[in-house]
Structure 1
């Protein structure tokens, strides 16, 4: 009777370990799906806001270019001045892109993936 009890006990431990492993894997899958879904939905909403801001900026720049050009006497002067402004802004962003863009976005992505809900 003694060997049989040990076998049943080992089998019971094996079943528990198997169930624990399956449950842990399922939990890991669900956490992964949640993290990916949260990241994709955040990205989609940020893209939508970015598109609206891009259109706003486009129309604002055209308006400013026309207004500056009118004040200077020729419309193309306004577009040249706005282009020069964006060239200077691009140079500044290129020089400081790690501090202004890469680090904050990287931190945001990591924190959204690692956050607990």
Structure 2
């Protein structure tokens, strides 16, 4: 009789462990899907905003180039001046890319990851 009780307990324990494993895997899948959807939606919205800003910047630069060129007497002078301006900006950005670009973006990514980790480990934040 004890053998049957022990076997039933082992089966019950095995079923619970199996259910726990299946539930854990399902939870991991759902968290992965949620994280992927969040990343994709954020990326899509940022690309859309970036495209609008790029078009705005393009037309603004063309307008400024034409205006400067008109004031100087030849339209291509304005384009040369704007190109020189962007060359200077590119040189400054290249020289200070670590301080201006890499460090802030790295810090943002790390803080985002740590924020997600805190949410997962602290149920009060969910």
Say yes or no: TM over 0.5: yes
Partner of 1:73: 73
User: CA shift at 1:99, angstroms?
Assistant: 2.9
User: CA shift at 1:71, angstroms?
Assistant: 1.1
User: 1:5 aligned to 2:8?
Assistant: no
Q: Flag the 1:109–1:40 CA change in 2: closer, same or farther, 3 A.
A: farther
Partner of 2:82: 82
Structure 2 unaligned regions, length at least 5: 120-125
| Greater than 6 Å deviation, 4+ residue runs | none
Aligned CA-pair RMSD = 1.8
Q: How many residues in Structure 1 have an aligned counterpart in Structure 2? A: 117
Partner of 2:30: 30
User: CA shift at 1:97, angstroms?
Assistant: 2.2
The alignment's TM-score, normalised by the length of structure 1, stands at 0.90
